[in-house]
Chain A
């Protein structure tokens, strides 16, 4: 029932964005983490991931009017755009395709991959909901890859306090992820 409601809501949002592109912002908010998680899983590199994620949304916005609702989630359409862009890029650069990426047919999106992507996207969204100090530590430590000493200096806390915030943040995220899985 909940899934049907979600599907109906998504359909309405897409139709609204097709009429008025201002509504695309909401589709972007809902799908940003998914697309990013999908791309980073395949390419691994942050700069390239940002570049490709950006291309996916630019292309989606440009072609939104062509999207036809067939009961398939909007995210699947975005994943397909991403898969094609990655495939093109690999072909252009003559890069060897990694075996475990399922990229022999790079434009294919498999359900197991989507499940993993969805899990990561959920985790990324949970980070946004962490208390400010915990979130700051997570960003400095994992995105900016700073040492405990550097983080401590930046947020004006002791190294012990930073380690404690790091521990709390990861424990909170773990609990929320378990709740999301249940």
Chain B
């Protein structure tokens, strides 16, 4: 069985805290650009920066129903 480093838990906690601190900076910036950080968490920050533009779930569902209503209206007076 491979031995786990005694420090792995602490390292992880450190990384989680480090990431959160950097995320606060990403969320506070108007341009959403990731700040200069440790290379280990840099790819996660790039993902986070893109997630600022994630569409709202409710918007996708609302637009879908709007389009469905429009289709029904358009074809309800054809027959």
Q: Which residues of A contact B (CB under 8 A)?
A: 21-22, 24-25, 28, 32-33, 36-37, 40-41, 46, 49-50, 53-54, 57-58, 61, 120, 123-124, 127, 138-139, 141-143, 145, 148, 163-164, 166-167, 170-171, 173-174, 177
CB distance from A68 to the nearest CB of B (A): 21
Tell whether A24 pairs with B51 under 8 Å between CB atoms, given A148-B20, A163-B17: no
CB distance from A8 to the nearest CB of B (A): 25
User: Across the interface, which residues of A come within 8 angstroms of B54, CB to CB?
Assistant: 124, 127, 138-139, 142-143
The answer to whether A58 touches B67 (Cβ under 8 A) is yes
User: Across the interface, which residues of A come within 8 angstroms of B16, CB to CB?
Assistant: 163-164, 166-167
The answer to whether A40 touches B53 (Cβ under 8 A) is yes
CB distance from B37 to the nearest CB of A (A): 13
Q: Closest chain A residue to B49 by CB distance?
A: A142
Option from B17, B55, B66, B71 in Cβ contact (under 8 Å) with A24: B71
CB distance from B64 to the nearest CB of A (A): 6
CB distance from A140 to the nearest CB of B (A): 11
**How far is B70's CA from A41's CA once the two chains are assembled, in angstroms?**
28
The answer to whether B48 touches A170 (Cβ under 8 A) is yes
Option from A28, A36, A37, A166 in Cβ contact (under 8 Å) with B64: A28
